[in-house]
């Protein structure tokens, strides 16, 4: 319940975990259980908070600086949240830092990390991205964004087909836009496909 309420308030997963630890005290369990609980919380946070995956994508930028302050400024996110995210990615083995060099252990393919075990985490992730999309709609020049929609009458039996085609499109667009090897911005593609009738 603490987790659910805190996520809806938009709190960082690391802070939620620390709060739970303080509140529960010795009930958290042995050191070994505590470690596995922490890994579970870390996985939840990676799926739940949008900037975790965005950090990995930012590492592809030509002007990337392996510095939490630079990342926080680039994304407009609190420095402590970025520091927590970097530590979390390291603990999970997703990010390795060796001799000051940051290495993405996902081999540059982060979209599969969205398929987390916890549906609440996925909902929170999508909720955050919708909020970022609204910010973009309100603040960014239309030349730098694309917000379009389309209503259609369909046979609901074709929904699996639609989801498969959307997945193919996402992967194809990603390959097309990343092929020139000269990235200078991190963009988020979000496609919403949902029923309007009940």
Of 105, 104, 111, nearest to 188 by C-alpha is 111
What would the mean pLDDT of 68-93 be, rounded to a whole number? 92
Q: Share the mean pLDDT of the chain.
A: 81
Torsion of CA 76, 79, 85, 91, to 10 degrees: 160
> In sequence order, which residues have a C-beta less than 8 Å from that of residue 137 and are 6 or more positions away?
145, 147
What's the chain's Rg over C-alpha atoms? 19
- State the DSSP H helix or E strand holding residue 12, giving kind and residue range, or none if neither: none
Nearest 5°: CA angle at 50, between 17 and 149?
Answer: 140
φ and ψ at residue 96, rounded to 5 degrees: -120, 135
Q: Which pLDDT value is given to residue 120?
A: 75
Whole-number Å distance between alpha carbons of 21 and 56: 28
Lowest-pLDDT range, 18-27, 77-86, 139-148? 18-27
Lowest-pLDDT range, 13-17, 87-91, 122-126? 13-17
What would the mean pLDDT of 92-111 be, rounded to a whole number? 82
Query: pLDDT-based confidence at 35, cuts 50/70/90?
Result: very low
Query: pLDDT-based confidence at 157, cuts 50/70/90?
Result: very high
Give yes or no for a contact between 43 and 116, defined as CB atoms under 8 angstroms apart: yes
- Of residues 143 and 4, which shows the higher confidence score? 143
Q: Which pLDDT value is given to residue 78?
A: 92
């Amino acid at each position: 319940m603490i987790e659910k309420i805190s996520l809806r308030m938009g709190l960082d997963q690391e802070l939620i975990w620390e709060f739970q630890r303080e509140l529960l005290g010795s009930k958290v369990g042995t050191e070994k259980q505590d470690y596995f609980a922490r890994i579970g919380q870390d996985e939840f946070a990676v799926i739940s908070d949008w900037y975790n995956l965005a950090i990995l994508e930012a590492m592809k930028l030509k002007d990337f600086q392996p510095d939490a302050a630079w990342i926080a400024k680039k994304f407009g996110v609190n420095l402590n949240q970025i520091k927590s995210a970097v530590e979390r990615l390291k603990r999970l083995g997703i990010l390795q830092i060796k001799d000051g060099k940051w290495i993405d252990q996902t081999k540059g393919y982060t979209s599969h990390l969205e398929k987390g075990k916890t549906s609440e985490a996925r909902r929170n992730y999508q909720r955050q991205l919708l909020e970022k999309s609204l910010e973009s709609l309100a603040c960014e020049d239309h030349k730098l964004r694309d917000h379009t929609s389309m209503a259609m009458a369909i046979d609901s039996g074709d929904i699996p087909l639609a989801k498969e085609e959307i997945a193919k499109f996402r992967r194809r667009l990603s390959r097309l836009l990343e092929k020139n090897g000269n990235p200078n911005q991190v963009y988020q593609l979000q496609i919403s496909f949902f029923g309007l009738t009940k």
